[in-house]
Amino acid sequence: MKTNLFLSHSSSSYAIADNAYRMMCSELNNHFILISGESGAGKTEASKKILQYFAVTCPMTQSLQIARDRLLLSNPVLEAFGNARTLRNDNSSRFGKYMDIQFDFQGIPVGGHIISYLIEKSRVVYQNQGERNFHIFYQLLAGGEEERLAFLGLERDPQLYKYLSQGHCAKESSINDKNDWKTVSNAFSVIDFTEADLENLFGIIASVLHLGNIGFEEDDQGCATIPDTHEIKWIAKLLGVHATVLLEALTHRKIEAKTEEVICPLTLELSVYARDAMAKAVYGRTFTWLVNKINSSLVNKVGQCTLGTLLLLTWKTVIGLLDIYGFEVFDKNGFEQFCINYCNEKLQQLLIERTLKAEQAEYEMEGIEWEPIKYFNNKIICDLVEERHKGIISILDEECIRPGPATDLSFLEKLEEKVGKHAHFETRKLAGPKGRKRIGWMEFRLLHYAGEVTYCTKGFLEKNNDLLYRHLKEVLCKSKNVILRECFLRAELENRRRPPTVGTQFKNSLSSLLEILISKEPSYIRCIKPNDRKEPSKFDDFLIRHQIKYLGLMEHLRVRRAGFAYRRKYEHFLQRYKSLCPDTWPHWHGPPAEGVERLINYIGYKPEEYKLGKTKIFIRFPRTLFATEDALEFCKHQLVARIQATYKSCLGRREYVKKRQAAIKLEAHWRGALARKAIQRRKWAVRIIRKFIKGFISRNKPLCPDNEEFIVFVRKNYILNLRYHLPKTVLDKSWLRPPGILENASDLLRKMCVRNLVRQYCRGITAERKAMMQQKVVTSEIFRGRKDGYTESLNQPFANSRINEGDINPKVLQLISHEKIQYGVPVIKYDRKGFKARQRQLILTQKAAYVVELAKIKQKIEYSALKGVSTSNLRDGILVIHVSPEDKQKGDAVLQCGHMFEAVTKLVMLVKKENIVNVVQGSLQFFISPGKEGTIVFDTGPEEQIYKNKNGQLTVVSVRRKS
């Protein structure tokens, strides 16, 4: 039995969870952890920490990863639909939750099951000042996708909805609804919710909001009507019902009288009641469906396996986790607080009975001398309150069921009549003069273990009845929404019995919960609320002292200190620790009590550390048990090591013998195989050598069986060697020398290789280089073998132009702007009469050649008037452009150009005339003016010169170089 205090500290939760988990694994029994405390004390957070601890520390397999994730992510979903902001807590659980976490025989979490208790349905339709509705409404509006909200007919502003704005705090700075929506959406995707499930679920949530906005008016007959059917249409669409049928069900009531049915109109007040009852019923049953859906996703699914494995997999132990609503005291306490506080009374009573009453009874039964400690004061209160609560619930049910008018006031009068003499019950009528001022006419006060609470009876009968008109129930049973069809079964319409009241349902479910808890080993976490203002790091000493007092924590400590920390039956104790004593290991055949006595004497227990009862051993100090556990762990290691050593030795010897026999057999077979293989290889080698010798001798003879293989080998070897000696470029003339029998094949291969290299070379030539090479071809046709210096010009690439457009005077460019410049080059022009040298530019266009001096065009030679071009066979750069005398030109142009081969080639390609270039030897005549010609003499000498000789001729001297 373990009782622990949790004061908003995660490490305490971890320690308790770890202790429960280890005890469950070692003793293979079921445990539960009860988390209790006031509202806002941190119970929900403590349960999250425990789940996180199990998720992180328990061994996990890949196949069970999904089960673990679903177990963890069920929390945010249940919190969204079952938690709300109250005056005491921003995330207050408005339902009770008991979760069984299932573990397999290895301690791996394999599934879970959740039971919910008393969802506070009244919060759906009404909230006190400063409180909110359930989180899911605000999360959907804040974080839902635009398409989803449009499909549901919702706006983002929660103030637009009556069911969300009554508490006047729809938006709370401490709550991030948008982020919480992302967490819930992610959880839905993991917990096996389909898109259809979500569509139906949020359709119900949206329909509740639309229900709250339905407005009723009273007609002339005092009956309720709905003037605006906009919300009715949305509800009908989302729930899959007929709008007219729903409209009638909200404003009329169906009454069955024997075999007849009568439809009666409802008053305005009854229509509002019907609307709110429908909203509460729909939300409450949807929450139950949600819990069942989560449970179905947490079920451990065992696949096909052997019988033994199946038994192991289905052998489960559980750790229960009870996160129940805390004790609540508000300014205005209603039926919900009455049920919640009753639950807390029962749990407190259970704890006291398990810690005090059971403790004392066990000592007395075992004959252990122990000074009993008196029961807590609140133990007496709990016993009395339970009796009083049962009486109040019985009276409440009587008032709900009995014929005749029953009101909350008549219920209060009945309480005064039947429970008025109870010591812890008080009303304004029964109170003394001082107490009357603090109790209203519709209120009664109860003394709980945690203090006095005043309850207002207004709404007690309505909330306890929680009736839904039959007409509305018929509408919901016919809904096309799959969830509602599962929640509202048609069988309900056939059952004429009155459904049990909420109080009776809660009382029965609480009894079943206590039966579950009693069957398991308990651990307790007592959450202490530090202050009432929800402020961090602030401790109200008076509030904390009050909680410690009414929870009885100090009395618990006294009981544990005065009693024995550990007790166990002799059989179990001996079975666990018998390996620590040679007399009891491996088997003890005498009475268990004698075996335990001999065991503890061998271990060395001191008399003050233990007591021996009739059937159990009692150990006083935890350190004694811890020392025994340490000794057991050490002994386990020794035993395991000894077993492993013996077993491994046996396995080793057995394996060695098998391997030795197998090795001998393998060696024998392998040696034989190798010998046969060597013989075959030698025979094959002899045959091959003989063949090649014969082939070499007869290699020059025609192909025959004697030389066929040799020739094939020579061919193959030559081809394989040739691939590493192929030429890389067209100019590479190297080639692997072939054997005599392959000379013809080698020549063919060489030609193919050269052709392939030429093809690759041609494919790699760019358009620009191709154009240049075409120009080189033209140059070759004109000058090859006819003019010195041609060979040296082959390696000099031609340029598109030797003059940039920026080097030409703008005035010249303007004069020839109608023509496109194809080529330009600097030249030296020699006068036709005095042969004076002048710097000029030769510009070639598509139609003419221009000799340009700065900003003037000195001579224009149209291609149509071009008679020819002359040059010498020497290395000079002289060229003469001949013009036709009939065209009234100035005469032939005598030019010296540093790029003579390039310029002449460009000119010839632009003129497009064949054989216009004349390469002369010795001298040439040129036209000066009509009837007058000049002579240019070409000669060789030690140095290059150009001058006018004594005969008035232009002499051009070139240096002849040795070729």
**Sequence ranges of the binding site for ATP:** 37-44
The yes-or-no answer on residue 93 being catalytic is: yes
With beta carbons less than 8 A apart as the criterion, state whether 893 and 829 touch: yes
Tokens of 948: 């006018």
Strands 252-257 and 217-218, sheet pairing: unpaired
Q: Which letter, b or e, does each residue of 800-827 get, where b requires 16 or more Cβ atoms within 10 Å of its Cβ?
A: ebbbeeeebeeebeebbeeeebbbbbeb
The yes-or-no answer on residue 167 being catalytic is: no
How far, in Å, CA of 74 to CA of 298, rounded?
Answer: 9
With beta carbons less than 8 A apart as the criterion, state whether 117 and 509 touch: yes
The DSSP output letter for 803 is S
The yes-or-no answer on residue 39 being catalytic is: yes
How far, in Å, CA of 271 to CA of 575, rounded?
Answer: 69
Tell me which of 83, 89, 454, 871 is the catalytic residue.
89
Tokens of 22: 């280890």
The yes-or-no answer on residue 326 being catalytic is: yes
- Per DSSP, helices labelled H in 460-606 are 460-465, 470-477, 482-487, 491-494, 502-518, 541-551, 553-562, 570-577, 592-603
For residue 445, the surrounding DSSP H or E stretch is strand 443-448
Relative orientation angle of helices 43-57 and 10-27, to the nearest 10 degrees: 50
The yes-or-no answer on residue 176 being catalytic is: no
With beta carbons less than 8 A apart as the criterion, state whether 897 and 852 touch: no
With beta carbons less than 8 A apart as the criterion, state whether 945 and 955 touch: yes
Q: How far is CA 931 from the centre of its chain?
A: 101
Tell me which of 86, 92, 122, 183 is the catalytic residue.
92
Q: Which letter, b or e, does each residue of 906-919 get, where b requires 16 or more Cβ atoms within 10 Å of its Cβ?
A: bbbbbbeeeebbeb
Dihedral (Cα; 666, 668, 673, 679), 10-degree rounding: 160
Tell me which of 93, 133, 378, 779 is the catalytic residue.
93
Question: What DSSP string describes 215-277?
Answer: --EE-TTS-EE-S--HHHHHHHHHHT--HHHHHHHHHEEEEEETTEEEEEEPPHHHHHHHHHH
- Count helices and strands in the chain by DSSP H and E runs: 33, 30
The yes-or-no answer on residue 40 being catalytic is: yes
Residue in the structure block whose two tokens are 């008037």: 865
Feature table: binding site: 37-44
The letter for the amino acid at 13 is: S
Tell me which of 3, 12, 13, 39 is the catalytic residue.
39
Residue 316, CA distances (Å) to 25, 107, 313, 526 in order: 10, 9, 7, 28
Dihedral (Cα; 246, 247, 253, 257), 10-degree rounding: -70
Listed residue (297, 344, 401, 269) closest to 67, CA to CA:
297
With beta carbons less than 8 A apart as the criterion, state whether 957 and 940 touch: yes
With beta carbons less than 8 A apart as the criterion, state whether 566 and 611 touch: no
The yes-or-no answer on residue 698 being catalytic is: no
Distance between first and last Cα of the chain: 118
With beta carbons less than 8 A apart as the criterion, state whether 787 and 919 touch: yes
Tell me which of 3, 12, 36, 40 is the catalytic residue.
40
Q: Which letter, b or e, does each residue of 429-460 get, where b requires 16 or more Cβ atoms within 10 Å of its Cβ?
A: ebeeeeeeeebeebbbbbbbbbeebbbbbbeb
Listed residue (81, 195, 207) closest to 152, CA to CA:
207
Q: Which letter, b or e, does each residue of 208-221 get, where b requires 16 or more Cβ atoms within 10 Å of its Cβ?
A: bbbbbebebeeeee
Tell me which of 3, 12, 36, 44 is the catalytic residue.
44
Tell me which of 79, 231, 328, 362 is the catalytic residue.
328
CB atoms within 10 A of CB 884: 15
- Per DSSP, helices labelled H in 841-946 are 900-911
How far, in Å, CA of 632 to CA of 638, rounded?
Answer: 10
Residue 797: asked if its preceding bond is cis (omega within 30°), the reply is no
How far, in Å, CA of 771 to CA of 799, rounded?
Answer: 11
Tell me which of 112, 143, 320, 326 is the catalytic residue.
326
The yes-or-no answer on residue 89 being catalytic is: yes
* Backbone torsions φ then ψ of 752, nearest 5 degrees: -60, -40
Residues with a known catalytic role: 39-40, 44, 89, 92-93, 326, 328
